[in-house]
Structure 1
Amino acid sequence: MSTANAAPRNRAIDGGAASIARKAWARFLFIGLICAALAVAAERLSLQEARFNARTAVETAASRAAVEMERIINADIQRVHGLVAYVRANPNLTQDRFAELAPYLLADATGVFRNVALARDLVITHIYPLAPNRAALGLDYRDNERQWAKVREAIELNQVTLDGPLELVQGGRALIARFPIYLPDGGEGPGDLWGVASMVLDFSAFADASGLDALGDDYALALYAAEDDLARGGQAVYRTAATPPDDAVTRRIELPSGAWILAVGPADGWPTRSDSLLLIIAGAALLLVVGGGLVLISLRFEHALLRQTKDLERLRREAVEARLQAEEANRAKTLFLANMSHELRTPLNAIIGFAEVMNEGLFGPIENPKYRAYLADILSSSHHLLAVLGDILDIARIESGGAELDEQSLELRELTASTLRILRARLREKRQSLSIDIDPAAPTVYGDPRLLRQVLINILGNAIRYTPVDGAIRIDAERRADGALALTVADNGPGIPEDKAAEALEPFVQIGETGAQARAGEASREGAGLGLPIAKRLVEAHDGAIEIGRAPEGGAAITIVLPAERVRAAA
């Protein structure tokens, strides 16, 4: 950054710091005035406010609990109407069929459901779930004095009644909703009594799910039946150890039949005095100190954040510009290589053609043996250069996104066989042995045969080049645990050092020739350093990867890994 640009920026920062200080003092003064006003008014208003807040909190909590209790009871009870209708249509319902229907009926219950039962002729004959409630089977409501009153009321009124909480025969406390079931007789009357359906709600779960237990932790409360409410001193359905005050907040909870009254108030009664003036002043002073400090910290933080945001935006722009420049340079390089390779291929093909004509002696023999040797060198070098130009065109086309896949299923053994037909002469020339360990039942792969063949040609060609005369090369395939297919070409040549593996996959990079490579019979300079990079990009176009390791024989092990999505079971 130049001095001319830095000076205005420094002045802006200094001006911003002064502005922060002014804002901090102004806001601190404002907070001081607010705190003073609150301290003056607090002594007169604190008692009124405390009582108002306490009552509002109790009303809110009581309303929430009342609404939740009413929702849970009515939601769960309504589910049994479908069961009642089914029994009316199928009065000979068996326990097994009942056990099949009940889970669907209660699949989305609120979580407080304990069991549902049917009492044909007022004797419990069906129950779900059966195992924990088996003790209730055979219970005759007429013999149970505690439950019979509500059962009889439901039958006489032909409506749902809610009873409890009461102790169950099978153990536990619960609320029980009962539904009389009358069989249709075709007339206007209710018909003959089939029995009673019961929905049992676990009271402990109900108190927890509705928030009644949580409400009792914070307040004194009592729950009464509407006919035995607080004013009449009736028996509470549920209550805490502390008794609600006389002017407790009350809420009415509507039930399928009747209602409950919920009375809630502070356990210690409503506030009777305000805080002392000294505590109010101390609180106001503390609020002034804390509030002023927070204001100052927040302003400084905001200013630092603004500067950081500006710096990050500047770095982002610089990074974007650098990326665009790099992409443009890469495109220019690719275009240059493609154009250069194309321009060189035309005269090179002419050279090869004329050299072949002269070598064949189509217009007369060349008697001088040195000339014939020179022609052989010209042809060999020209073909090598043409292959290098072909590699350059391939890498340029791949990097420019021109590698389009013509995908189909192909067998690994056919892929390796077609590759060997191309490279067999080079293997014979160096008297190298090649072993192939691919199961005839190996799975097929889905990809572009031409491009995958090019990958294998490049990798196997590298193995031939760097493996010494009379050396050994091996090709094998295996299915990995994740379903991917690994095709490995291993040799007993000099190998690739581990720290050079990533470098070997970069275009135009050749790992330096060692004495072992020289003994292999071919210098590394015979290539352009494009074989493995082209193979890598073609495999990546198939969503795969190239792995470089060391073979057990001591040489290089190059593995083509194709993902499970491209592997098909053998036909």
Structure 2
Amino acid sequence: MAEQSQGHAGPSDRGIRLKAMAQIVAIALLGLIGAGFAETMAYRATTSDARADAIADLGGVRALMESRLNADVQLTRGLISYIKVHPDLDQQEFELLAGDLIASGQSHIRNIGLARNLVISHVYPIAGNETALGLDYRRLPAQWPMVEQSIREKRVMMAGPLDLVQGGVGLISRFPIFLDMPASITGRPNRNRADPPLWGLVSTVIDFPAFLDSVGLPALREHYSLVLVGRDGTGAAGDPFWGAAAVLSQNPVTLTIALVSGEWMLAAVPVDGWPSWSRHILLIGGLTGTLFLLAVAVVLLQMRTELAQARTGRLLETARNEAVASRIAAERASAAKSHFLANMSHDLRTPLNSIIGFSEMIRREVFGPGWHPKYGEYVGHIHDCGQSLVAMINDILDLAKIETEDYRMQVSDIDVPALLREIATSWQARLGKHRVELRLAPDAPVILQGDPLAVRRILENLLSNAQHYAGDEATILILWTPGKAGDACLGVVDDGAGIPADQIPSLVEPFYQGGSDHGRHAEQTRRAAGHGLGLSIVKRFAELHDGGLRIESELGQGAAFYIDFPAARLRRATAVA
């Protein structure tokens, strides 16, 4: 016995050592994961700080660019007002006026031109810009679209930077001049409702390189790789026009520079790139190593208590096995209940069929007349009730079979349009005052791979549901519409009282009896309510065909029930010669 106990203790000790080793490995992995997570968070903070520093460095330049660029453009607004009063000014008069405007502020304007009737007629300074005189904007394919847009929209447009005819690179802002300018340019309301006549354009050329130098953007290249994007004020969606376009693929910081028309985007990354590690990488590594050594010491100390833990584990295993056995017993009890209900329903159906048969014979007076007329009425009630009970038992049987997975589909080719015509014809008489319409799409000849009995039950349950709740004189529409993706939809639509929105999700629950509590059909829906299994059966039969049930309804607008069949279960019918 002692040897057996010792032999039993050997494997237990070995198991404890293996478990301790596994714990140490797990702690190492957790330490690596924790260190990785801490480094990730610290790296994000480091990168966030670096990006914030970059935005701060670029923010001042962005503010200078916006203020100076827009200030340069605004200098010409006074010139516009003057031209409106003196539309026939000559070159000398223009030079005096333009010279005063440029000298009045810290300007980077290279020249100002007037294009009367869209032909450049005045230029200041004229020296070095002689080649621009006489140019017709309508004959400049590269510039005319923006000029035309500026005139059409009656607003300032900024183009560039672009190569100038007189040499160099510049930004061009164009102001359309109307003899009665709109409020968007003059700042005063326009009381003339007619379109004012166009005098021409004021064109202001800003020296682009000098402008960049004045705001200090090139100086930032010592620390950042930069790029400006958005030629002609098109913003981030435009083309790069200054700097290194490769910056855009390096996760840059970006700032928007607002112009008088449109915007630019300034993007930047540090010259040495973004940080590869956090600034706390050494601290994180040291703390992780220290915590790992402490955890290993704890694991080694806990090895003495592992035998007790093993005994506790065996007790827990026993409890788990008992729980599994209890679950299996509960599942068997549930299955037994379902089978019991199925058998009970089957046993009830047989005598009910007999009741229906005998009541039908009495109702038809097969053995001759002689009964009181009231008996016929009673017999009719017996017959109707028997039919209802049999329908309910059939639904219970089908539902039980589906839920216990005992229902076996008998799949075959179904000519759906033919089936729908047959059912619509038979139900027309059964629905009394209801009017049944059948609509088939032009490409309706579609073969469904499915269970004919199940499909028939789907449509009959939907028609029965419409009969109960749509109202005595409602129109019931049967739809069959194959879709473009190869799928198809079977629908039953009525124009009855509709269904409250809060009831729609519950309609497919077994034994739920819904209907409208409002409107002219409320009393009838309460009298004609079914046993609450029809839509539940429809939903399950649809799912057996890999489809689904959709319900659409509003109070007072009728109700629509659609069954969607996937393309995998459909094919086009072959024409027969």
TM-score after normalising by structure 1? 0.44
Q: When the two structures are superposed, what TM-score results if normalisation uses the length of structure 2? A: 0.43
